[in-house]
Chains A and B, each alone.
Chain A
Amino acid sequence: MSEKNIYKPIKYKLDKVVEETSLIKTFFISAKEEFEFKTGQFVEVTIDGIGEAPYTPSSSPYVKDKMEITIMKAGYVTDKMHQLKGGETLGIRGPFGKGYPIEDFYGKEVLILGGGVGLAPLRCLILTLLGEEDKFKKINICFGAKTPADFIYKDWYDELRKHKNVELLRSVDKADGSWQETEGLVTVLLEKVDINYKEAVAVVCGPPIMMKFGTFRLLEMGVKEENIYLSMEKNMSCGLGKCGHCAMGDYFVCKDGPVFTYNEIKDYPDIWI
């Protein structure tokens, strides 16, 4: 068949697997063909004969011959992913969906609010923003995790703090003796950020409960509904706006999202579950 087959995955090699936390691993994939994607878009990864699931890459879209995907063990397919050791062949379809509209962030203060494995797509976003760091007035990052051990990308934070235009704040729900930063839910960090919320854009990604209360807190702080960008988790099967699994009101999240502004989706019931 001469026309492109949208259902057929392209084969990539899984180079290595790195353990981030007890439940989260990062998968390093290399490509023979260059892989183009925009930050915020997702790919469908197939384990041969087992299953396919959607993930947002956590590596920079500027790097085209390698891709990193950070995955939490949460269900059948991710459990099988976690059993991979490196050296296996994976199938990838995509990229799918609309990414973050980076151009709309130019000249503004950007606030990035993330929790748990939600840091994975945000890492890709931050690496993208840092590629043209001067275009943004300020990049404020608020990251949360349950405990210090639950933070993924442990070596990354010192590096982030070296950027003059970046301010990084971190919190854990439950601190241990060595924790020097904030203790409390990630939303408490919002009080500490030096930012004009009324003019800022905010990006939220994390567990549903965190996204819900994070968004509500940002609204209280004065962020405009149309300036809050949410990355929605849905049960995408095809990624193509056909199979119906990710339907949310008038949207197929896979094709029309997965990034939405709060005002685009606020009227639908149960967006947080």
Chain B
Amino acid sequence: MKFYSVSMKQWVENLSNVASEFQIFAPILQNDFLDYELITPDNIEQIIYNTAKPTTPLKAFFFPVKENVVIDKKADKQRVIIGVPSCDLHAVNLLDKIFLDKDFLDIYYKKNRENTILIGTDCYKITDSCHCTSYGLNPYPEKNSDITLSIVEDIVILNVQTEKGEKFLEKIKDAEFKEGIAAEDKLKEKRDAVIQELDSKNKELPDAERTRKGIESSVDEVWKEYAEKCVSCGACAAICPTCHCFLLIDKENFEKVKNWDSCQYPAFERVAAGEDPLGKIYERLKNRYLCKFVHKPDMFGEIACTGCGRCIDACIGKIDKNEIILKICK
């Protein structure tokens, strides 16, 4: 758990020097959307550090929208993802349990995961939909990072968490990287301020356990009411950092493409004979919440909502997940 501190200027310069050796992705603002972009010396200064979640969830790097899972995958350059927020890092717990399950190891996910260096960052700015602290997470990296990156007064503070992280840092650090943590008090102050901001903004919002109870005791009328606005587009699942459902689509030569799918789509559970346990929109909507707060905790010991709030931002029917939770937990 070694700490290094370096000036922002030096960090950018050294990172730029290795940009061609790796595939580096980091959040950049484009047309009002913050999203991961491939970093080159040309855009490296536009990286936005320490802001809440990029639009695309981290899962897309390990579990791509479409991936041929029969043909051999050619080796890619090692990937480095800078600016991963805590909500997405937590989601990796559940994704790993599902795709790295020892009974049925997904070698494609494993390869993508092993080939990626995660640099988690603190969130110093939050958005309206952020609510990670409601579910016991902190808005700074706690797990699954190879390196964490914090910034205090233009000093980049790096904390090496894994051997993979150590190896990457060996490539970029020079004499300007000083061992130790600069301005620790100030870092704590910054983090505490964000926690306080989140807690006060979301003070009405129930925690995971109360949310679970609310969902379990909810009446169908609530789900029917909100289902009126749902168009089954599946955006909530696509942008969710933990949603892992997919469909295997057949191609010639017995090839299969693992394609993102969603329980919000019609016919997701329909069987050949026509029976469909999730045939109605309200059943699908409720299923999403049951999955996140009841079934996943029972099955994997992890709630499947990290409070990133992307589903609230993405919903074209303006269904506010937290509004539903507040209503059913009254």
Contact A50 B250 (CB under 8 A): yes
Docked complex Cα distance between A50 and B107 (Å): 24
Q: Nearest-CB distance from A35 to chain B (Å)?
A: 17
Of A107-115, A155-163, A189-197, A246-254, the one with at least 4 CB within 8 A of chain B: A246-254
Contact B107 A5 (CB under 8 A): yes
Known contacts A91-B254, A242-B106; is A250 also within 8 Å of B298 by CB?
yes
Taking CB atoms, residues of chain A closer than 8 Å to B72 are 1
Residue of B nearest to A7 (CB): B69
Chain A, interface size: which category?
Answer: 35 or more
Docked complex Cα distance between A4 and B105 (Å): 8
Asked if A233 lies at the interface with its beta carbon under 8 angstroms from chain B, I say yes
Count B-side interface residues using an 8 Å CB cutoff.
44
Q: Nearest-CB distance from A163 to chain B (Å)?
A: 32
| A 216-266 contacts with B by CB, 8 A | 233-235, 237-238, 240-252, 255
Contact B273 A52 (CB under 8 A): no
Docked complex Cα distance between A50 and B246 (Å): 17
Docked complex Cα distance between A247 and B105 (Å): 19
Contact A245 B261 (CB under 8 A): yes
Q: Nearest-CB distance from B291 to chain A (Å)?
A: 7
Docked complex Cα distance between A85 and B247 (Å): 28
Taking CB atoms, residues of chain A closer than 8 Å to B299 are 250-252
| A 12-50 contacts with B by CB, 8 A | 46-50
Contact A7 B253 (CB under 8 A): no
Docked complex Cα distance between A78 and B274 (Å): 13
Proximity bits, B223-244, A CB within 8 Å = 1, else 0: 0000000000000000000001
Contact among B70, B73, B111, B247 for A245, CB-based, below 8 A = B247
Of B2-10, B20-28, B49-57, B262-270, the one with at least 4 CB within 8 A of chain A: B262-270
Contact among A5, A91, A249, A270 for B69, CB-based, below 8 A = A5
Contact B250 A51 (CB under 8 A): yes
Docked complex Cα distance between A102 and B74 (Å): 45
Contact among B103, B248, B254 for A48, CB-based, below 8 A = B254
**Chain A binding site: helix, strand, loop or mixed by DSSP?**
loop
Contact B250 A237 (CB under 8 A): no
| B 94-124 contacts with A by CB, 8 A | 98-99, 101, 103-108, 110-111
Asked if A177 lies at the interface with its beta carbon under 8 angstroms from chain B, I say no
Docked complex Cα distance between A123 and B212 (Å): 43
Residue of A nearest to B295 (CB): A250
Contact B247 A273 (CB under 8 A): no
Docked complex Cα distance between A250 and B299 (Å): 6
**A-B contacts at CB below 8 angstroms, number:** 125
Interface centre among B101, B253, B271, B273 (most CB of A within 10 A): B271
Contact B251 A78 (CB under 8 A): no
Contact B246 A246 (CB under 8 A): no
Asked if A184 lies at the interface with its beta carbon under 8 angstroms from chain B, I say no
Proximity bits, A53-69, B CB within 8 Å = 1, else 0: 10000000000000000
Contact A242 B244 (CB under 8 A): yes
Contact A234 B69 (CB under 8 A): no
Asked if B1 lies at the interface with its beta carbon under 8 angstroms from chain A, I say no
Docked complex Cα distance between A77 and B248 (Å): 13
Q: Nearest-CB distance from A107 to chain B (Å)?
A: 31
Asked if B277 lies at the interface with its beta carbon under 8 angstroms from chain A, I say yes
Asked if A8 lies at the interface with its beta carbon under 8 angstroms from chain B, I say yes
Taking CB atoms, residues of chain B closer than 8 Å to A273 are 275-277
Q: Nearest-CB distance from B97 to chain A (Å)?
A: 10
Docked complex Cα distance between A44 and B289 (Å): 29
Docked complex Cα distance between A50 and B250 (Å): 6
Q: Nearest-CB distance from A179 to chain B (Å)?
A: 26
Known contacts A48-B253, A233-B273; is A3 also within 8 Å of B98 by CB?
no
Known contacts A207-B273, A245-B269, A273-B277; is A49 also within 8 Å of B252 by CB?
yes
Asked if B245 lies at the interface with its beta carbon under 8 angstroms from chain A, I say yes
Contact B248 A49 (CB under 8 A): no
Taking CB atoms, residues of chain A closer than 8 Å to B275 are 208, 233, 273
Residue of B nearest to A48 (CB): B254
Q: Nearest-CB distance from A31 to chain B (Å)?
A: 16
Interface centre among A6, A9, A242, A249 (most CB of B within 10 A): A242
Taking CB atoms, residues of chain A closer than 8 Å to B70 are 5, 7-8
| B 29-88 contacts with A by CB, 8 A | 69-70, 72-73
Docked complex Cα distance between A77 and B159 (Å): 52
Contact B105 A3 (CB under 8 A): yes
Taking CB atoms, residues of chain B closer than 8 Å to A238 are 246, 248
Contact B272 A53 (CB under 8 A): yes
Taking CB atoms, residues of chain B closer than 8 Å to A235 are 268-272
Which B residues form the contact surface with A (CB < 8 A)?
69-70, 72-73, 98-99, 101, 103-108, 110-111, 244-248, 250-254, 256, 258, 261, 263, 268-273, 275-277, 287, 291, 294-295, 298-299
List, sorted by A's number, 12 A–B pairs whose CB atoms are closer than 8 Å.
A5-B70, A8-B256, A11-B254, A48-B253, A49-B252, A49-B253, A52-B250, A53-B272, A75-B272, A207-B273, A242-B98, A244-B244
14 further contact pairs, Cβ within 8 A, besides A7-B69, A233-B271: A6-B106, A48-B252, A48-B253, A52-B250, A74-B273, A78-B272, A91-B254, A242-B98, A242-B101, A242-B246, A243-B247, A244-B244, A247-B291, A247-B295
Which A residues form the contact surface with B (CB < 8 A)?
1, 3-9, 11, 46-53, 74-75, 77-78, 91, 207-208, 233-235, 237-238, 240-252, 255, 270, 273
What are the 9 A-B residue pairs with the smallest beta carbon separation, nearest first?
Answer: A244-B245, A75-B272, A74-B272, A49-B252, A7-B69, A240-B104, A250-B298, A273-B275, A91-B254
